[in-house]
Structure 1
C-alpha cells in the first residue's frame, strides 16, 4: 500500500508510521510527505529518507487551487491512502478520495474537536473541563472538521496531576498504535462504512487466527 502523509508540525506521526513499516508491522510505503509550511517535520522526515515537499496554501489564490495542487502531487505519486498527520490547513476532499483520507485526532471525538482544536489546545480544553479519561480518534476525513466516520478510538486515563504536556504524551503513545492499526484494516479491505458508522469485518480465516 502506498501512503501519502500531510504535515504541518513535528512529523512524529509520519516517523511512527515509517518505524512500523521498517519493523515489518505495517505493509506499506510512504511515497510522499507534503507539508503546508516549513516546519520541524520537514527536516525530520527528510532525515528518515522520505520524499518531502512544502506546499504552502499561501502560494495559491484559493482553497480549491491549493487542494488541486495537493491532490495532483499525491496522485502523481500513486498513493492509495492519504493520512493527515497533524495537518492544519483546510483541504477540500474530492469525491474520488472519499473514504481514502484518514486523520488522527488527540481526543475522543466528538469531544474537543472542530475548527481550531488541535495539539495542546485539545489537551488544555480537556483538562479545563475536568474529564477523567481522554484518548485519540482515527476517522475518515470529510468536508466538516473532525466529523467523518470514526474508525477507532483509544482511551487513556487523565491523572490528577496532569498538565497539557503529560496528557499529550500519554495520548500520543496511544496514537502510535491506533493509526497504524487503522491503516492495516483499511489496506485489508476490512472497514465497512454505512453512513457515519464503520464496522471492522473479519473473514472466517482471520477469526480463526
Structure 2
C-alpha cells in the first residue's frame, strides 16, 4: 500500500481547528485550555454543533468562538448534512476537523481525507461502533468485566469508530469503578492524548500505510 503523509510540510503557523460537538463540549474546553496555556499551537476557527440545545454551544460562545448549529434532523440524509458541515469548514479555512463527542455520522469528502480526527472513550476495536458513545461505553466495559479500558484517537472515515489509529492510552479498570469514575479517568487520558495527536499532525510527523500510522517513519 502507498505511504500517505497528510501534512508533508509542518505548519509554520497555528493549525486551524474545526471542532464538532453534540454534547457538553468538555473536549472543546480542554482544547481552549491547552491553547491558552501555550501547550497546543492551534486556533479554533469554527465550532459546529449538531444540536442547538447542547451545553457545548454555550461553552463555545462564552469562549468567544464562532459556533454554528447544523442539526442533523434538518437534512434528508447523511450526504446533505455532511455537505453543509464541510462547506462551513472550507469557508472557515479549517486545516483539521476534530470530532469531539460528535454523534452524527458524516461522509468525509475527498479534500478532507485524513483531515478528520475522532476520539473514542475505549480501546478500539473493543466497545465501539453504532450505539457505543458516552457513558454507554463505560457501562459496557464494566458489564463485560474488562480489566483495561482507555481512549483511542484515530483518523475518521465513513464508518463509526473506524479508520487508522493514531494513538491509544490504556486505563486500568478498578474493582470498585462505576461508569462515572471510569469515565473521569478515561477523560483525563483523553485530555492528554487528543492534543498530542493534533501536535503530531501539525508537525507533519504522521505517516499512514493502510491501517497503520507511524510517527516520522517509526511505529506510533
* TM-score, scaled to structure 1: 0.95
Counterpart position of 1:197: 212
Counterpart position of 2:23: 9
Quote the RMSD (CA, aligned, Å). 1.1
Counterpart position of 2:78: 63
Q: Secondary structure at the match of 1:151?
A: strand
Offset of 1:95 from its aligned partner?
Answer: 1.5
Which of these residues, 146, 161, 178, is aligned with residue 161 of structure 2? 146
CA deviations on 1:45-97 (whole Å, 9 max, x unpaired) are 11111111111011122211111100000110000000000000111011111
Offset of 1:145 from its aligned partner?
Answer: 1.3
Give the number of the structure with larger relative contact order, counting CA–CA contacts within 8 Å between residues 6 or more apart.
Answer: 2
Count residues with an aligned counterpart: 203
Counterpart position of 2:8: none
Alignment gaps of 5+ in structure 2: 1-14
Counterpart position of 1:207: none
Counterpart position of 1:24: 38
Counterpart position of 2:111: 96
CA deviations on 1:146-176 (whole Å, 9 max, x unpaired) are 1200000001111100000000000000000
2:89 pairs with 1:74: yes
Which of these residues, 169, 187, 201, is aligned with residue 184 of structure 2? 169
Q: Secondary structure at the match of 1:50?
A: coil
Mapped to 2, the partners of 1:61 and 1:5 lie a distance apart of 23
* TM-score, scaled to structure 2: 0.90
Counterpart position of 1:33: 47
Mapped to 1, the partners of 2:35 and 2:102 lie a distance apart of 21
Q: Secondary structure at the match of 2:181?
A: helix
Q: Secondary structure at the match of 2:119?
A: strand
Alignment gaps of 5+ in structure 1: 204-209
Q: Secondary structure at the match of 2:114?
A: coil
Contact between 2:105 and 2:159, CA under 8 Å: does it hold in 1? no
2:202 pairs with 1:187: yes
Q: Taking structure 1 as reference, are residues 140 and 82 closer, same or farther at Cα in structure 2, changes over 3 Å only?
A: same
